[in-house]
Amino acid sequence: MILSLNNLRRWVLESQRDPNWKTASRLCKRETPYCRICQAKTNLEAHDVKPYHLIPPDVRAKMTVGQWVKNMRTLNHDCHRGIAHCDDPAFLQYNPQIDKIIQDINMRAMACTTEARSWR
């Protein structure tokens, strides 16, 4: 029941967000139609690297769609909650190292692919 209340809370909060944020969220998911961590193509969400609520309202009001997109990473729901928000069902905690995590995972995946090719 807590999870469904948290989902309702997120829906209400996101419905009140700036129109540029909403446009950027759709654009982010269109430009990168897969999770940047696990490569899943379903249940995609736009993750704010710097959390929306930590950006002062006067700054948010001036942000362009492009600025919002630069602050977003496409993640599926499980990676978004589990890794980017430290498994917090309310999405209040956040992981400031998300870009490093994405980079590390992608580098390891490339290394595995390279080794598999050279092993043949």
Q: 72-76 and 44-48 as β-strands: parallel, antiparallel, unpaired? A: antiparallel
pLDDT at residue 1, rounded to an integer: 44
d(CA 27, CA 98): 20
d(CA 76, CA 19): 22
Cα four-point dihedral sign 70, 46, 7, 76? negative
Residues in the chain: 120
d(CA 4, CA 12): 12
114's tokens: 């390279």
Q: pLDDT by residue (tens digit) across 54-110?
A: 999 999 999 999 999 999 999 999 999 999 999 988 788 899 999 999 999 988 877
100's tokens: 């490093």
Q: How confident is the model at residue 15 (pLDDT cuts 50, 70, 90)?
A: confident
Q: Answer yes or no: are the C-beta atoms of 78 and 43 closer than 8 Å.
A: yes
Q: pTM of the full predicted structure? A: 0.79
